[in-house]
Amino acid sequence: MFDFFWNLASFVVALGILVTVHEYGHFWVARKNGVKVERFSVGFGRAIWRRTAKDGTEYVLAMIPLGGYVKMLDERVDDVQPEDKDKTFNSKSVYQRIAIVAAGPLANFIFALFAFYLMFLIGVPGVKPVIGDIVPSSIAAKAKLTDNSVIVSIAGNVTRDWQEVNLALIAQIGNEKITIKTKQTDSQYVTSFILDTRNWQFSPDKTSALTSLGITPFRPKVHNELSAIAKESPAALAGLLVGDKLIAVADVKTSDWLSFAKEIKKFPSAEVFITIERNGDILTLSVTPDSIEQAGKIVGFIGVAPKVDAWPETLLIELKYGPIEAIKESALRTWNLTTLTFGMIGKLLTGDISVKNLSGPIGIAQGAGASASHGFVYFLGFLALISINLGIINLLPLPVLDGGHLLYYVIELLTGKEVPEKVQEAGFKFGAIALLMLMAIGLFNDFSRVLG
DSSP assignment, residue 277? E
Distance CA 363, CA 342 (A): 20
As beta bridge partners, residue 287 has 272
Handedness of CA 44, 45, 48, 51 (dihedral sign): positive
**Residues 24/41, Cβ–Cβ less than 8 Å:** no
Within 285-420, residue ranges assigned H as helices are: 325-350, 361-374, 376-395, 402-415
Indicate the length of the chain as a whole number. 452
Q: Which residues of 140-173 are buried (b: 16+ CB within 10 A; e: fewer)?
A: bbebebeeebbbbbbeeeebbbbbbbbbbbbbbb
Nearest to residue 342, comparing CAs of 389, 296, 401? 389
- Selecting among 23, 164, 263, 329, the annotated active-site residue is 23
CA distance readout (Å), 340 to 62, 171, 177, 333, 345:
33, 6, 17, 10, 9
Q: Which residues contact 166 (CB under 8 A, 6 or more apart)?
A: 208, 209, 210
**Residues 396/390, Cβ–Cβ less than 8 Å:** no
Tell me if residue 418 is catalytic: no
**Residues 150/185, Cβ–Cβ less than 8 Å:** yes
Mind telling me the catalytic residues? 23
